[in-house]
Structure 1
Amino acid sequence: MEENVPHRSVEGFFEYHLLVGTVVRAAVNEGARKPAYHLVIDFGPAGLKESSAQITDHYQPEDLVGRQVIGVMDFPPRRIASVKSEVLVLGAVNEGGDVVLLRPDMPVPNGTPIA
């Protein structure tokens, strides 16, 4: 672990509500200052949620539909161009600054919590 990473409690991590969802629509977020996609994600019992995600380096909109992703549900919505981004889609940032999406190893029902 890096020295500069602050230590937090395990309990603090479990306060976040992370769910698995499936992308049902994806399109370019035309008004975003940085290239991004407007995603609509089905989180099962938590419903359909929108997100603006800066994931254009490795993904095309048509390749995202049907893909499961992990979203943080706890943050207040943010307006990004014309999109009300309701969830933060999680990804790993590689050395070049590109985002690679996190996803379950196997399909799981939409709304499955991350533990």
Structure 2
Amino acid sequence: MKHEIEKDRAKTLSFASPLLQQQRKIPRKVTTMNALLGYRILAEIYESPNSLVYRGIREKDNQAVILKFLREEYPTPEEIIRYKQEYKITHNLNLEGVVKAYSLEKYQNSLVIIFEDFG
């Protein structure tokens, strides 16, 4: 497991040049103007120090989804690794009553997890 995390960290470093490290504390809001391609943002439903969560529609099949964005415009490699691990764990849980993670997608300099919208 530790080896896998280190391998993932090495891949992730491409997200975090020194300039990006200096700029990473720029908080952001996702708007329809800069939304993830293929998704339509309907409403913000939650905001935390680490993430922004929106209700949306996946345009290719009109599927209702929840989009969970990392809050920082330039996340650290550790934040990206943690997000990838969150996706892997959630995606592999195939239990009734547990939200399904559909995909992990790149968004600008960061990542977004696409979940089923069960509400």
**TM-score higher than 0.5:** no
> TM-score, length-normalised on structure 2?
0.30
Task: Pick the structure with more helix per residue.
Answer: 2
> TM-score, length-normalised on structure 1?
0.31
